[in-house]
Amino acid sequence: MKLPAFFIAHGSPLLALEDNEYTRFLERLGQDLGVPRGIVVFSAHWDCPEQLLTVDAKHETLHDFYGFPEEMYTLTYPAPGDPALSRKISELFKSNNLFSQPVLGRGLDHGVWVILQKMFPQADIPVVSLSVDSLRSPEEQYNIGRMLAPLRDEGILFIGSGGLVHNLRLLSDKDQPEVWAQDFDAWIAERLQAWDLPTLFAYEAKAPHARNAVPSYGREHFVPLFYAMGTADEGKRAQLMIQAYQYGTLSLNCWMLD
């Protein structure tokens, strides 16, 4: 069973406790996808110059945030890992001349488990987490994802977890999203649907409000998009599944890539 890949915004960690249009969408999405053989997540919250990947047989839950309600720190997502899948990923990286480093005992950060506990609440599907490198070029990030595309034919679900508009310094208490955030999302949407890689790779220079949407200190939330797109290079199709916002500017969207 070949599954599509996804870019999924994980928003605020509070999504784990919330019941709203976006969380209900994630629940339905998980039900519609059935049971993948394994899930591989490129997480914005694991940004490293080296390509790292988890190799655990079972994961701990990282509460890598502070200042949230106490209930947040009691939530767990004890998903199993898949050391055999981790080895396959390492072998694909090696065959494409990309050095990768296995990591044992890291746990799943909230960029991984917040969305998965909505999509697959039983926590019974094996998960492998992969780091991203926000300092690589978009083309390099895309090509790393493309290295792993063969695993989609084996029932592996790939997710890039981050946020297309993610600037914590520009959050607001407005009920309606800021126009500049909507403009940036719309620009990305148009180029994504056309699979216009040259323009997307140059988003920093060409996209409206790029500095606000993807600040220099927050690129790690945008780049999982390119890793996820790379896994869908064969079909080059993108479909926007939902678009919402938190705090005026924090973009909540899901793109299906196939």
Rounded Cα–Cα distance for residues 244 and 10 (Å): 12
pLDDT for 1:
82
What six digits make up the tokens of 242?
């939902």
Whether 134 has a pLDDT exceeding 90, the answer reads yes
Please state the rounded mean pLDDT for residues 126-143: 98
Q: Sorting pLDDT into bands at 50, 70 and 90, what band is 72?
A: very high
Q: Sorting pLDDT into bands at 50, 70 and 90, what band is 169?
A: very high
Q: How many CB atoms lie within 10 A of CB 136?
A: 18
What six digits make up the tokens of 86?
């981790």
User: Tokens 């699979």 sit at which residue?
Assistant: 195
Residue 99 CB contacts under 8 Å (≥ 6 apart), including other chains: 50, 51, 93
Rounded Cα–Cα distance for residues 102 and 176 (Å): 43
pLDDT for 4:
97
Q: What is the distance of C-alpha 82 from the center of its chain? A: 19
What six digits make up the tokens of 64?
């890598």
Return the DSSP state at 121: T
pLDDT for 77:
98
Whether 173 has a pLDDT exceeding 90, the answer reads no
Domains and CATH numbers, the chain: 5-257 (3.40.830.10)
Whether 175 has a pLDDT exceeding 90, the answer reads no
Q: What percent of the chain has pLDDT over 70?
A: 100
Please state the rounded mean pLDDT for residues 147-167: 98
Q: Are 43 and 222 in contact (CB under 8 A)?
A: no
Tell me which long-range contacts 59-66 makes (C-beta under 8 A, separation of at least 24).
Answer: 59/107, 59/108, 59/127, 59/129, 60/105, 60/107, 60/108, 61/107, 61/108, 61/113, 62/106, 62/107, 62/108, 62/109, 62/110, 62/113, 63/110, 64/109, 64/110, 65/13, 65/110
pLDDT tens for each residue of 55-64? 999 999 999 9
Please state the rounded mean pLDDT for residues 209-226: 97
pLDDT tens for each residue of 10-47? 999 999 999 999 999 999 999 999 999 999 999 999 99
Three-class DSSP category at 199: helix
Q: Sorting pLDDT into bands at 50, 70 and 90, what band is 104?
A: very high
Whether 160 has a pLDDT exceeding 90, the answer reads yes
Whether 242 has a pLDDT exceeding 90, the answer reads yes
Rounded Cα–Cα distance for residues 16 and 212 (Å): 26
Average pLDDT of the residues of the chain: 97
Whether 174 has a pLDDT exceeding 90, the answer reads no
